[in-house]
Structure 1
Amino acid sequence: MSYPYELDDETLWEAGYHSGRLYFFLAQGAAEYLELPTGLARNDRIGGCDIELPTSRAFVEGLYDSHSRTNSPLLRGLWHGLLVTSLVLLDMAGPSITLRAEDEEALRGEMASFGRSMGAAN
């Protein structure tokens, strides 16, 4: 069973049921904390989510900003997995967000690793 993430009827991520649902609910919780919409809408027809790209991009920018701003190792760790997954999904949809030079190499490496398990082209 899967939990697909679609953009304009194109499946970007054919997530496993559990990982897809967990990502959705983690994103919802983070969005509530950040006071930003996720750009993800449950789609009962496909049993997954539709992505609204401009809103999703703004959400990922908010995640990245919060992740980058904190000096707390705990908060940084809590943000991290959600951020990397969100960056990969956004990258699958088209141009991603701009990363700071000091973050670029590490995040791109993790995105490549996550992306392989998410079915993203390298």
Structure 2
Amino acid sequence: MSYPFEYNDETLWDAGYHSGRLYESLAQGAAGFLAVPSGLTPSPQGGCTVDRDVFQAFVQRLYDLRAATSAEVLRGLTNGLLVTSLVLLNRSGGSIALNPEDATALGEATSTLARSMAS
């Protein structure tokens, strides 16, 4: 059973059910913490639709939180969610502004993860 993330008529990630539900739950929780909408809307048949503009703003806020702290625990907690979100955002044609000191590492992490995320 899959849990697809779709933007318009394109599947950005055909996640496994558990991976997709966990990602969506983590994103919704982080969006609540950041006091912004996630841009992810669960669909009745399972999966999520992505509102790219809203999702892009969410991902930017998540990155800004990560970039603004030196707390290793907070950076670690946000990293997996951020990298997965960057894959989805990139696949939808969106992007966020990254600090130069983060661009290479996040770009490599995103590329590596994207190879294991079926679309």
TM over 0.5: yes
Q: What corresponds to 2:102 in structure 1?
A: 103
Give the superposed CA RMSD: 0.9
The letter for the 2-side match of 1:34 is L
Q: Distance in 2 between matches of 1:30 and 1:4?
A: 20
SS at match of 1:22: helix
Q: Is the 8 A contact 2:56 2:94 kept in 1?
A: no
Q: How far is the alpha carbon of 1:55 from its aligned partner?
A: 0.3
Question: What's the CA shift string for 1:50-98, capped at 9, x where partnerless?
Answer: 0001100000000000010011000110010000000111000003112
Question: What's the CA shift string for 1:20-79, capped at 9, x where partnerless?
Answer: 00000000110010001000000013x100000110000000000001001100011001
Give the fraction of aligned pairs with identical amino acids, expressed as a percent. Answer: 54
Q: Which runs of 5+ in 1 are unaligned?
A: none
Q: What corresponds to 1:8 in structure 2?
A: 8
Q: Distance in 1 between matches of 2:18 and 2:112?
A: 19
TM-score by length of 1: 0.94
1:53 equivalent to 2:52? Answer yes
Aligned residues: 119
Q: What corresponds to 2:40 in structure 1?
A: 40
Q: Distance in 1 between matches of 2:10 and 2:118?
A: 14
Q: Is the 8 A contact 2:52 2:94 kept in 1?
A: no
1:113 equivalent to 2:112? Answer yes
Q: How far is the alpha carbon of 1:100 from its aligned partner?
A: 1.2
RCO higher in 1 or 2 (8 Å CA, sep ≥ 6)?
2
What does residue range 16-95 of structure 1 map to in structure 2 within 5 Å?
A: 16-45=16-45, 47-95=46-94
Q: How far is the alpha carbon of 1:119 from its aligned partner?
A: 2.8
TM-score by length of 2: 0.96
